[in-house]
Chain A
């Protein structure tokens, strides 16, 4: 018995050590550091006050929030429409379409930014073509600005939204639609009063994941605009020069602020998933699937952070 206990503890110790050393301690150290004075001692709320009062940091926070919210909303709308459209195809085509969309979710971060630079950058293929053809509509489009960032962000949001939303369309049974139309509801009325409310938890949950995904996205923005566009993630990155934090307290404070927003968004997703399961049984967020589902759901979420 004693030996077995020893075996159990031996099996758990390396795991506990790794998680402590590389996950919990860094987060704690960051948290305490965000409450420290400039010299690293004492307790103060000054860092947070400074971050929220400084126009520069506030702009970064605002830009990040704006771009995350708009890209998530756009992603959700496109995802919803396209997920619905995909359900109208035959199963074989459906599978192929989903596979293609999943495939593109691998194309993120630096390579993605790079592809867009080739297409639409200053000397991009399309930029030059449009100029040659005299299409002046596109002449004020600038990839390295707000509109370009949105374009690229939506690119990595859509496959994720599709992946997360698509299964929930199977919660809507054909019989309901028939019943509704027998009672005289048109398709618009059906979606307004039955379809969308049923999808609502899935929509809000997905919105949470998309938002967290965009807030944390660093590689794409960093490769695309570098320091030229003031985003929170890029700002945090720039406070870390080489492998030391040049302004450790400020870096930690901003990092904590960013983590708060993403934690909140992921928490929203968690609540919505629970709600969907409670009132819809197994049919709502996907057909009853093996538990491996969670990883599948979450997998692309981590993808953009590369």
Chain B
């Protein structure tokens, strides 16, 4: 089954699949470099104008900056909250794990639109009126990346046998906190970095929550892209393609990191 050369039928099917999957990407890419593309199979003339225009557009740079720092804050907050919590749960309360799995799977089962309605309901009135602010968005982002962070940290802890490591460190006279910071953290760091990057790329592409919760006030790169789609096709494709390349580079780094750890820790 493994080494035989693929027959005619598989080749055709896969070729068709690849055309279907890659054509939209290719078209966006060509459109971003095309000066004028009408009534011909390929653009007649090429230009880098759209890219230079993109970088001259102050609103684009602002949106990029907003996206980056919102994602950064959310991921950092999630790290700070999740690291100790997952550590304690895996170590002291392994019985809670099935409950945790339920909590963690919820963001998957509850679509973004639904989550957004709930969040707006809760925070648009009452004592905590933070509707339309970055606080609400960061809270929502925290829930979005919860599964990735939980799984990533937990798997890293399990693969390095954190319990045994901790016991050994204590036997050698280290205090628990010292053991956590000096022994466990350095060991799980690679796995944690993988889930951090993964979370970052997920948030960078997030549109539903951003648009519904704060769309009018805070413009991330996705919201900006949505607003530009109607205006200039070429400029928007330049943005879309740059965004895609950015995410691609990020996932390549992820894959390299994942491979480096021998497949033991997969973010």
Q: Are B124 and A244 in contact (CB under 8 A)?
A: yes
CB distance from B125 to the nearest CB of A (A): 9
Q: Mark B112-139, 1 if CB is under 8 A from A, else 0.
A: 1111111111101000000110000001
Cβ-neighbour of B142 out of A7, A18, A177, A303 (below 8 A): A18
Tell yes or no: B21 within 8 A of A by CB. Answer: yes
Q: Hey, which chain A residues are within 8 Å of B40, CB to CB?
A: 129
The A/B interface has a contact count, at CB < 8 Å, of 300
Partner of A116, one of B24, B159, B248: B24
Contact call B240/A114, Cβ cutoff below 8 A: yes
Q: Decide if B253 is an interface residue (CB 8 Å cutoff).
A: no
* Minimum Cβ distance to chain B for residue A217 (Å): 8
Given A259-B111, A305-B208, decide whether A115 and B24 contact each other with a Cβ distance below 8 A: yes
Point out the residues of chain B lying under 8 angstroms from A252, CB to CB. 117-118, 121
Chain B residue numbers with a CB within 8 Å of A14 are 80-81, 85
Chain A residue contacts of B3, Cβ below 8 A: 90
Distance of A101 Cα from B132 Cα, bound (Å): 36
List residues of B (209-246) whose CB comes within 8 Å of A's CBs.
211-217, 222, 225-226, 229, 233, 236-237, 240, 243-244
B236's partner among A85, A104, A114 (CB-CB below 8 A) is A114
**Complex Cα gap A263–B107 (Å):** 10
Query: A106 touching B244 by the CB < 8 A rule?
Result: yes
Contact assessment for B139 and A21 in the assembled complex, using a CB-CB cutoff below 8 Å? yes
Compute how far the CA of A212 lies from the CA of B22 in the bound complex, rounded to whole angstroms.
25
Q: CA A125 – CA B30 in complex, angstroms?
A: 11
Check A12–B85 contact: CB distance below 8 A.
Answer: yes
Chain A residues with Cβ below 8 Å from B22 are 100, 104
* Chain A, Cβ-Cβ closest to B262: A290
Interface size class of A (residues with CB under 8 A): 35 or more
Check A11–B118 contact: CB distance below 8 A: no
Contact residues in A for B186 (Cβ distance below 8 Å): none
**Alpha-carbon separation in the docked complex, A113 to B140 (Å):** 24
Report the stretch among A23-31, A42-50, A52-60, A193-201 that lies at the interface: A23-31
A10 to B92, CA, bound (A): 14
Kindly list chain A residues whose C-beta atoms are within 8 Å of the C-beta of B217. Answer: 243
Interface string of A89-100 (1 = CB under 8 A from B): 111010001001
Q: Which chain A residues numbered 211 to 269 have a C-beta less than 8 Å away from chain B?
A: 212, 215-219, 222-223, 233, 236-237, 239-240, 242-245, 248, 251-252, 255-256, 258-259, 262-263, 266-267
Q: Does B41 contact A (CB under 8 A)?
A: yes
Contact residues of A between 68 and 116, Cβ < 8 Å to B: 78, 81-82, 84-91, 93, 97, 100-104, 106-116
Whether B82 is near chain A, meaning CB under 8 Å from some CB there, is: yes
**A residues in contact with B56, CB < 8 Å:** none
From B9, B115, B124, B265, name the one whose CB has the most chain A CB atoms within 10 angstroms: B115
Nearest CB to that of A224 among chain B residues?
B229
* A259 with B114: CB separation less than 8 A: yes
4 extra interchain contacts, Cβ-Cβ under 8 A, other than A118-B24, A218-B112, A295-B147?
A110-B229, A248-B121, A255-B114, A295-B198
4 cross-chain pairs, A with B, having the tightest CB-CB distances, nearest first? A216-B111, A26-B118, A292-B266, A15-B85
B-side interface residues toward A, CB under 8 Å?
1-7, 9-11, 13-14, 17-18, 20-25, 27-28, 31, 37-41, 80-82, 84-85, 87-89, 92, 103, 105-122, 124, 131-132, 139-140, 142-144, 146-148, 151-152, 155, 158-159, 176-177, 195, 198, 201-202, 205-208, 211-217, 222, 225-226, 229, 233, 236-237, 240, 243-244, 247-248, 251, 263-267
A-B contact pairs, 5 of them (CB 8 A): A82-B13, A85-B11, A106-B248, A233-B113, A305-B112
